[in-house]
């Protein structure tokens, strides 16, 4: 168990395309454990491997309702037509907030730590997290797709930061 360094802002690693995990090794499992610890410590809802400098298709997500979700080689296989608009932030972009439009419900197919394929469907925050974290695996950060990035004044007005 270890807390990993989260890459930030303009770090070029955040813009790379991650490779598939072909073989799940003890190192993969250690990485999953460390990513969960790092996400918990940072108070985030999700973390993708490139954010800790590992260019592999691995994601961890945890909302209050979902419990810990580990995704290896995840793919979005279904999205709802109805959308949700709301705040989005990222542990790699501290002090920034944006408004994004994401599908209300998203289904992901992935492998678990035993290499078994499974499907998981999430709505609201979990759906947003699936989109956000899977984008990280292709070097996409939420400001790339945001409808609007909040100004400092807007962040203070909306209570996201202290004035």
Closest to Ni ion by CB, 17 or 117:
17
Of 90 and 106, the one with the shorter C-beta distance to Ni ion is: 90
Single residue of 4, 52, 58, 90 touching Ni ion by CB under 5 A: 90
- 116 has catalytic annotation: no
Which residue, 25 or 101, has its beta carbon nearer to Ni ion? Answer: 101
Binding range to Ni ion, per CB under 5 A, among 3-11, 75-83, 89-97, 108-116: 89-97
Q: Using alpha carbons, select from 147, 136, 28, 26 the residue that is nearest to residue 92.
A: 136
Query: Which residue numbers are catalytic?
Result: 133
Give the footprint of Ni ion on this chain (CB under 5 A). Answer: 90
């Amino acid at each position: 168990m270890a807390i990993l360094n989260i890459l930030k802002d303009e770090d070029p690693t955040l813009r790379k395309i991650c490779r598939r995990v072909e073989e799940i090794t003890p190192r993969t499992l250690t990485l999953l454990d460390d990513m969960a610890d790092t996400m918990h410590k940072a108070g985030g809802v999700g973390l993708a491997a490139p954010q800790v400098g590992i260019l592999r298709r691995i994601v961890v997500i945890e909302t209050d309702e979902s419990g810990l979700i580990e995704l290896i080689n995840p793919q979005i296989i279904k999205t709802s037509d109805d959308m949700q608009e709301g705040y989005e932030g990222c542990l790699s972009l501290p002090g920034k907030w944006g408004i994004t439009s994401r599908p209300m419900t998203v289904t992901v197919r992935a492998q678990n730590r035993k290499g078994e394929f499974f499907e998981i469907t999430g709505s609201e925050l979990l759906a947003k997290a699936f989109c956000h974290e899977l984008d990280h695996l292709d070097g996409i950060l939420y400001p790339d797709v945001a409808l609007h990035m909040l100004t400092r004044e807007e962040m203070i007005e909306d209570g996201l930061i202290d004035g």
